[in-house]
Amino acid sequence: MTERSALVPVVSALAGARVLVIGDLMLDRFVTGAVERISPEAPIPVLKVDDETVMLGGAGNVVRNLAALGAHAAFVVVVGADDAATDVGRLVDALDGIDAFLVTASGRRTSIKTRFLAGTQQMLRADRETVAPLAPDHRHAVVEAATKLMENCAVVVLSDYGKGVLDDGVAEELIAAANAAGATVIVDPKGRDYARYRGAGVVTPNRAELAEAAERPVVDAATADAAARILIDTFGFGAVLATLGADGMTLVPANDAPTVLDVEAREVFDVSGAGDTVVAMFAAALAAGAGYGDAAALANVAAGIVVGKVGTAVAYADDVVHALHHQDLSSAEAKVLGLAPALDRVETWRRRGLKVGFTNGCFDLLHPGHVSLLAQAREACDRLIVGLNSDASVTRLKGTGRPVQTEAARAAVLASLASVDAVVIFADDTPMALLEALRPDVLVKGADYTVDQVVGAAEVQGWGGRVVLAQLESGHSTTEIISRIAE
């Protein structure tokens, strides 16, 4: 198998990958809050709701991961004629590089899984869904659209969550069409009837699914290999990629020795959707020209990243590159984030009950005054995000000749400080848009401002946060330092 660092070019090539995803779509809703009392009506906790979020799940989560990796995805799914379908359309439209074909079935419900969480503890899950094969006209629409889209996709993913979209011969028909088009078929399976997936290129069961399908226990890599061989011999699969939880992953090709991939050494916070991440990365890597072994290695890295996030999260291409360079998520370079990864990080922190702080500035030629400000900011919260003005923004604010250091250099220096947990570069003259997206609990600025002069102070206080004015170290100024250097 290729050395990890040599897989970085494959990640770069994902931008040219084209993958078609078909299967069971669902919406994942998260209702979060705190439990402070027991209901007087029944012996049950009362959840005081603080926030509600919704994201694409099931086949939709595969597509979300493909978009995060920079791949291009075509998407064929079925929704009901309901309000949830409107949410699906909005969420799909927000993804880059996605061509979606939504089949509206008036007799079905759009699947919704609603999870109620108190802090990090899931209290209840409520499912609203239709579990039934498609009506003939909806079946025809799915197969027709998918067959046409296969012409431009190197890999076809069937994401089966057992809701009925791939039932009654739909999976078989799609596999036959994909094979005829020369596309590789990857199936994320459900249930024990793998005959419906006969002829697929790769199936990706987890430990329990593999054991059920092969009708034999799977306790380690060796028994996973034996079980996978049964499926390959019985159904003509090209390979089985089995995810084994704490035992990592095992890739079993039809005509080659198995490859055992140890679990990535990361903190496991939430395994929701990790299987979708594996499928997305494996599919994208194959579509980008990687072999089975390299694609599996990348899928294992991506899975290790996503289980350290919250909910049905995604792995971004930058996350994967950092991991391939053996960089832990706490390392300096991995602290420099785009907005989407930063939102993931903030959500993870909040689910752990941590208070998130924010400060911002140009931080050109970092000096002791900056260090003191950042230390005070970190003391006021559990995790500190620094909003960093981009080069263009600094020039507009400070004039020609500034910044002295590029935004990349300034971000790297900030991220090397123990007091800083994340750095996000913003291009506007003020951090207002960034603040509204991150919604910090604490906003910190220097005491040379008054609260009413701090950008975002009213908004932070409006959502229950507070503003802290940090004491400044006298005698330190970037402008003065530059002047002394010039003299």
Domain ranges of the chain: 4-328, 336-486
DSSP-assigned letter for residue 184:
E
With tokens 């079905």, the residue in question is: 108
190, amino acid identity:
K
Among 335, 326, 309, residue whose Cα is nearest residue 418: 335
Its sign, for the CA torsion 361, 366, 368, 371, is: positive
For 210, the token pair is 């593999």
With tokens 């004039």, the residue in question is: 399
For 350, the token pair is 């909040």
Neighbours of 225 (CB within 10 A): 18
Backbone conformation region of residue 401, classed left if phi is above 0, alpha if psi is from -120 to 50, else beta: left
123 three-class SS: strand
Strands 466-470, 72-80: pairing is: unpaired
Helix and strand numbers (H, E) in the chain are 17, 19
Strands 121-128, 155-159: pairing is: unpaired
Whether the CB-CB separation of 359 and 445 falls below 8 Å is answered with yes
Q: Which of 276, 294, 391, 441 is catalytic?
A: 276
What is the pLDDT at residue 330?
A: 47
For domain 4-328, give its CATH number from 3.40.1010.20, 3.40.1190.20, 3.40.50.300, 1.10.260.40: 3.40.1190.20
Please spell the DSSP secondary structure of 208-251, one letter per residue: HHHHHHHTS---SHHHHHHHHHHHHHHH--SEEEEE-GGG-EEE
Active-site residue 276, yes or no?
yes
Among 209, 281, 292, residue whose Cα is nearest residue 62: 281
With tokens 């005509």, the residue in question is: 255
DSSP-assigned letter for residue 14:
G
85, amino acid identity:
A
Among 70, 61, 149, residue whose Cα is nearest residue 103: 149
What is the pLDDT at residue 480?
A: 60
| Neighbouring-strand partners of residue 203 | 187, 240
Whether the CB-CB separation of 31 and 114 falls below 8 Å is answered with yes
Fold entry, domain 336-486:
Rossmann fold (3.40.50)
Whole-number Å distance between alpha carbons of 311 and 344: 9
Strands 383-389, 422-426: pairing is: parallel
Whole-number Å distance between alpha carbons of 286 and 446: 51
Q: What is the full per-residue pLDDT of the chain (487 aa) written as tens digits?
A: 567 778 889 999 999 899 999 999 999 999 989 899 999 999 999 999 988 889 999 999 999 999 999 999 999 999 999 999 999 999 999 998 899 999 999 889 999 999 998 877 889 999 999 999 999 999 999 999 999 999 999 999 999 999 999 999 999 999 999 999 999 999 999 998 999 999 999 999 999 999 999 999 999 999 999 999 999 999 999 999 999 988 889 999 999 999 999 877 455 544 556 889 999 999 999 999 999 999 999 999 998 888 766 555 788 888 888 778 754 444 555 788 888 888 888 887 887 788 999 999 999 878 888 899 999 999 999 999 999 999 999 999 888 888 888 888 899 899 999 999 999 999 999 999 999 999 999 999 988 888 889 999 999 999 999 999 988 766 556 556 556 555 6
Q: pTM for this one?
A: 0.76
Q: Can you say how many angstroms the Cα of residue 288 is from the centroid of all Cα atoms in its chain?
A: 20
Whether the CB-CB separation of 81 and 151 falls below 8 Å is answered with no
